[in-house]
Amino acid sequence: MVRHPDTPVTGRATMLRRLARWCLAPLPAPPVALRRGPLRPGVFRSRLRSTRLTGQLGVALGLMFGICFVTGLLSHLIQHPPGWFWWPARPVGLYRFTQGLHVATGLASIPLLGAKLWSVYPRLFSWPPVRSIAHAAERAGTGVLVAAALFLLVSGVLNVSRWYPAMPFFFTAGHYWVAWLAVGGLLVHIGVQLPAVRAALARPTDEPRQDGLNRRALLGGVAAASGLITLTTVGQTIRPLSGLAVLAPRHPGTGPQGLPVNRTADGAAVRAAALDPAYRLWVVGPGRRVGLDLAALYGLPQYTAELPIACVEGWSATGTWTGVRLRDLVALVGVDPRRSSALVESLQTGGRYRACTVPPEHLRDPLTLVALRLGGEPLHLDHGYPARLIAPNRPGVLQTKWISRITVPGTR
């Protein structure tokens, strides 16, 4: 039904129109006496600041943040998979690539965000500070976006450095939820600013100079800073560039048996249990349970796989692992590994990652091992001796060390 033009507008529509007018109505101007310090006209004199510069920086920063968000979300889903999510076992280095890209784009965003904030911070002191209710809401939303972006970059740097100074929250959860807040704020900000940015980018401009610097030189400096940060950190993921990774908190070849370690046996409080001569690895299935000591594990068919340890902090390193296929251990209790998942538990008595679930696509993969050796030698205690999980295309936090029990569906 089409409403006739003479038909009265409904009460709800009238209320919405009044609300819109109220939000857009100008607020009373504040006293001029308050216009001091940075609020004075002409305080910010740099001719380099422009909508065009801000737009160009915003495009680059939006691209970096978009990649960082998607790869970070992917890592979160792998570690906390909902029922609909599926993650393959091959290619073996896919997670290594996506998480390395996540950390690299996050670090490269730091100079971009700094330059973007420099280009717009005079607007914090625009006069009048608030022109209308809608303008106040827009400024508040921008403030939330800036705060979320700073939180993500600062907490991300602290995480890759494994330094958590009195954080009153679990890093992963805080990072995840603030990322959604930042993306929501970013989308709203793009919607508000897109017309102005498009117009500025489409309009040819002269290149103003100030103290010998122009817009292109400024953008080139920011790009060089981002590139330098990437070059000096990405070597913790890309082994040929490891010699240049002077700013990377982890170097791939540093650690016992040539691989880094995040959590040691002493830190996990498992030294005594791991070195106990009575150690048994229990494989538990529906109606059957098998206990294997080290001699029994070494007596089973042994396989070797070259697989990376890829950590959520961005570093990764490849090792040559030898051990028993997880699917062969599951078969000992009469379970078909092609359609089964397994819960792998550590000797650790606590901790968020003391256990992990291995889904069917990884359990049945021949490269998924309960590793007993690394580089031809028995596992170092800090690498998970006497036995650890190593599976293709999985985050390091899900490669459970010091395995004590493997449980397949139907029992606990």
Q: What is the mean pLDDT of the chain?
A: 89
How would you list the strands of the sheet with 342-346, edge to edge? 288-292, 281-285, 403-407, 342-346, 355-358
Which residue would you say has higher pLDDT here, 336 or 370? Answer: 370
Residue type, 323: G
Which of the listed ranges 201-210, 242-251, 334-343 does the model predict with the highest average pLDDT? 334-343
Amino acid type, 268: A
Domain 13-28+47-206+213-244 matches domain 271-407 at the CATH topology level: no
Alpha carbons 103 and 233: distance in angstroms, whole number: 9
pLDDT of the residue at 196 = 84
Averaged pLDDT for residues 58-73: 95
Confidence of residue 1 (pLDDT cuts 50, 70, 90): very low
Task: Parse the chain into domains and list their residue ranges.
Answer: 13-28+47-206+213-244, 271-407
Query: pLDDT (tens digit, 9 = 90+) per residue, 28-59?
Result: 878 888 888 888 888 888 888 888 899 999 99
Rg (CA), the chain: 28
In this predicted structure, the answer to whether residue 2 has a pLDDT above a threshold of 70 is: no
Residue with more model confidence, 26 or 323 = 323
| Alpha-carbon gap, residue 312 to 176, rounded angstroms | 13
Distance CA 173, CA 158 (A): 15
- In this model, does residue 406 exceed pLDDT 90? yes
Per-residue model confidence (pLDDT) at position 7: 47
CB-CB neighbours of 181 under 10 Å: 16
User: d(Cα 365, Cα 314) in Å, to the nearest integer?
Assistant: 25
* Sequence-ordered list of residues with C-beta below 8 angstroms from that of 281, at least 6 positions apart, any chain: 291, 292, 293, 297, 370, 386, 387, 403, 404, 405, 406
160 touches 120 (CB < 8 A): no
CB distance 374 to 386 below 8 Å: no
Give rounded-to-5 percent helix, strand, coil for the chain: 50, 15, 40
Bridge partner list, 255? none
Average pLDDT over residues 73-80: 96
Provide the CATH number for the domain formed by 13-28+47-206+213-244 in this structure: 1.20.950
DSSP secondary structure letter of residue 47: T
Q: Token pair of 171, please? A: 């890093």
Neighbouring C-alpha atoms within 13 Å toward the C-beta of 60: 20
Sign for the pseudo-dihedral over CA of 249, 255, 261, 267: negative
CB 88 within 8 A of CB 217: no
- Paired sense of beta strands 316-325 and 369-374, if any: antiparallel
pTM value?
0.88
- Partner residues linked to 374 by β-bridges: 321, 377
Report the sign of the C-alpha dihedral through residues 98, 101, 106, 112, in that order.
negative
Which of the four pLDDT bands, split at 50, 70 and 90, describes residue 275?
Answer: very high
Predicted local confidence at residue 412, as pLDDT:
47
| Pairwise CA distance, residues 242 & 235, whole Å | 4
Stated length of the chain: 412
| Angle made by CA atoms 6, 11, 13, in degrees to the nearest 5 | 80
Dmax over Cα atoms in the chain, in whole Å?
A: 92
Q: Can you tell me the mean pLDDT for 343-350?
A: 95
Strand partners for 355: 345
For domain 271-407, is the CATH number 3.90.420.10?
yes
Q: Give the pLDDT score at 245.
A: 82
Residue 80 backbone dihedrals phi, psi, to 5 degrees = -130, 70
* pLDDT at residue 205 in the model: 65
Could you list the beta-strand ranges (E) of 225-348. 281-285, 288-292, 303-310, 316-325, 342-346
